[in-house]
Structure 1
Amino acid sequence: MPAGLRSTVEAIPGRPLPHGILGAPCTNIVDVTEDRIHELNGVEWLSLGCCPAHHWADPCEDESPGDESPGAPPVKEFCRPEVEHARPLPIYTGAECSAPGFSYEEARAQALASLALGEQHAVEVGFMRTKLNGDAVDLTPTAGPLSVAQGVAVLEDCLASAYGGVGTIHVPAGVGTLLGCCNIVHKDPETGGLETLTGNCVVIGAGYSYLNTGPGGIPADPGTAWLYITGPLEIRRGPIDVIPDRSRAGASVNTRNNDRRVIAERTFVVGTTCQVCAVNVRVCE
């Protein structure tokens, strides 16, 4: 075929990973309206369902013999709900190019497309940094990292002991394939979401792979990865702001170097409840 000038065509579109934190069917996403915009500054609430239920053994029905004094009669236990909170995660993307031949509308479209494709990754990074790394209890045994199947089992046992509902397992993208080796995870035919045999939801995130850090922000050793489990997720999502907006399109050009810059940004608030647990697993046997 004769050589010649390349033809200009439409850009190749992309789509976010389907089982990330914003794509999982079990994640409840709330689009914040103008009348509740203050919620994007962060929210707090009283925990619900994090107190265990108990079986009551009636001492009058205790027929076991004994010579010793039974001591004080048993009493029913009470639990105070804790105040939980979620902080804002500002997410942004920026488009830059030489102004000649790069219009404001092109820069705006670039920034918006990058935000649509990349915001999930950024939310996962922010959630790991601000919540998972800081609040998780490390369940890795002193003998070292577990297998992926053992790690999931330990996490599910941890959440089950503290919370009676369905939780969320957070998995780096690089570990996602390994979840199918032992039928640890299957796809729900109705929702298309991933869940374990126990019933917990599974989020597989590229942002978790990007950091791959444990409690305290400690990076995983080579050949290992960090898995987490939390309660259910509720994410507040703010509107998209494009800076500068169309009314100030000229302000996107830096007159010193003639470069055009446009930013698209929005704020997320990722909330979860009750226990957060972590475990280090082997990804190379």
Structure 2
Amino acid sequence: MAAGLRKYVEAIPGRPLPHGILLNTCTDVRDVTDEHELLGIEWLGLGCCPVNVWRDPCTDESLGGESPGQPPQKEFCRPTAEHADPITVYAGAECSTMGWTYAEARTHAEASLELGEQEAVEAGFWTNTLAMTAQDLTPAAGPVNIAQGVAALEGCLAEQYGGVGTLHVPAGAAAVLGCCNLVHRDGNGSLSTLAGNCAVIGAGYSAMNTGPGNIPADPGTAWLYITGPVVVRRGPTVTIPDRPGASVNIRTNDLRVLVERSYVVATTCVVCAIQVVTCP
């Protein structure tokens, strides 16, 4: 059939991956109205200091019944200041003024952002936070199998935080998790490890797949990260321009509409990373 006879229909709709950072029910996503929160936030870390067991030298036989020198003292921990910076994601639509109206271009850009913003937020969080702050647990011998990798990450989290955390997995490695029965689906639809940590499987993580320092993964390998809980602050969408006239470039007769949104993704206490093998 000739191209000129084809019927114009609506675009094929899509859905973001269900276990990504914005749709996973174990991630705390908050719609905020205070624009100051979208410029970046800071707080004192909670749960990062250890809770110690007191050993009384008068009753603890392992201490020999005597304490030479200064008597034991209970330890105090000064909370660490933590912060998170904004991530702005956007989608733009461009067309000839003879092809689309402003309303059509705006609708298209808004739909594009809705479909792809989760992937963009994941990529920004991975690149700016995970890969820039992680402790690398990969042994000198090189990447490990995925079960060993998850075990090492959960051990790192437990030792330094102790609460429920978040495992961050590239979508390209998700099938390997299933082969080893490393995660299961909770009653609320989220994915959790056997230890009880939340699992986020991200398309944006898969697109990045870099290790600490944002060094790309070797072929046949993937990077996994684990963190404390994740809180996502989300602002409203902003359309630029917000009226038809300003969207037209009179020099080229093109129409442009941009839709953007700011996020602040925060986690706490610890970020650990390990490189795993994704093929036998």
TM-score range, shorter chain: over 0.9
Counterpart contact for 2:57–2:66, Cα < 8 Å = no
- Aligned letter for 1:260? L
Provide the residue aligned with 1:164 in structure 2.
Answer: 162
Residues 258 and 218 from structure 1, CA distance in 2 versus in 1: closer, same or farther, beyond 3 angstroms? same
AA aligned to 2:98 is: P
112, 116, 131: which one aligns with 1:114: 112
Cα distance between partner residues in 2 of 1:19 and 1:51: 30
Counterparts of 2:205 and 2:39 in 1: how far apart (Å)? 24
Percent sequence identity is 66
Contact 2:58 2:66 in 1 (8 A): no
**Alpha-carbon distance between aligned partners in 1 of 2:235 and 2:3, rounded to the nearest angstrom:** 49
Tell me which amino acid in the other structure corresponds to 1:236. R
CA distance in 1, matches of 2:3, 2:253: 33
Q: How is 1:82-231 mapped onto 2 (pairs within 5 angstroms)?
A: 82-189=80-187, 191-231=188-228
Of residues 242, 246, 251, the one that matches 2:239 is 242
- Report the TM-score when normalising by structure 1: 0.94
Q: Which residue of the partner structure matches residue 20 of structure 1?
A: 20
Query: Which amino acid letter does the alignment assign opposite residue 267 of structure 2?
Result: T
Check 1:53–1:21 CA distance in 2 against 1; reply closer, same or farther (3 A cut). Answer: same
Single out whichever of 117-126 and 72-81 deviates more from structure 2. Answer: 72-81
Deviation, structure 1 residue 2:
11
Residue 99 of structure 1: how far off its partner (Å)? 1.1
Which stretch shifts more, 59-68 or 77-86?
Answer: 59-68
- Please tell me whether the aligned partners of residues 21 and 202 of structure 2 are also in contact (alpha carbons under 8 angstroms): yes
CA distance in 1, matches of 2:102, 2:35: 28
The match for 1:46 among 33, 37, 44 is 44
Task: Quickly say closer, same or farther: Cα 1:84–1:4, change in 2 above 3 A.
Answer: closer
Q: Tell me the distance in 2 between the aligned counterparts of 1:4 and 1:151.
A: 55
- Give the secondary structure class of the aligned counterpart of 1:251: helix
Return 5+ residue gaps in structure 2 as ranges.
none
Which whole-Å CA distance do the structure 1 matches of 2:123 and 2:93 have between them? 21
Q: Say which of 247, 257, 265 aligns to 1:262.
A: 257
**Cα-to-partner distance string for 1:156-203 (whole Å, 9 max, x where unaligned):** 0000001121100100000011111121000002x1000001000000
Residue 28 of structure 1 deviates from its aligned partner by 0.6
| Residue 276 in structure 1 maps to residue 271 in structure 2 | yes
Partner Cα distance (1:67, 1:236) in 2 = 53
Deviation at residue 253 of structure 1 after TM alignment? 1.1
Provide the C-alpha distance between the structure 1 equivalents of 2:62 and 2:94, rounded to a whole number of angstroms: 79
Are 2:54 and 1:59 aligned?
no
Residue 59 of structure 2 contacts residue 65 of structure 2 at CA under 8 Å; is this kept in 1?
no
Q: What is the CA-CA distance between 1:97 and the residue it aligns to?
A: 1.0
How many residues align? The count is 280
Name the amino acid aligned to 1:97: C
Moved more, 59-68 or 21-30: 59-68
Consecutive unaligned residues in structure 1, runs of 5 or more: none
CA distance in 2, matches of 1:117, 1:69: 65
Residue 216 of structure 1: SS of its match in structure 2?
Answer: coil
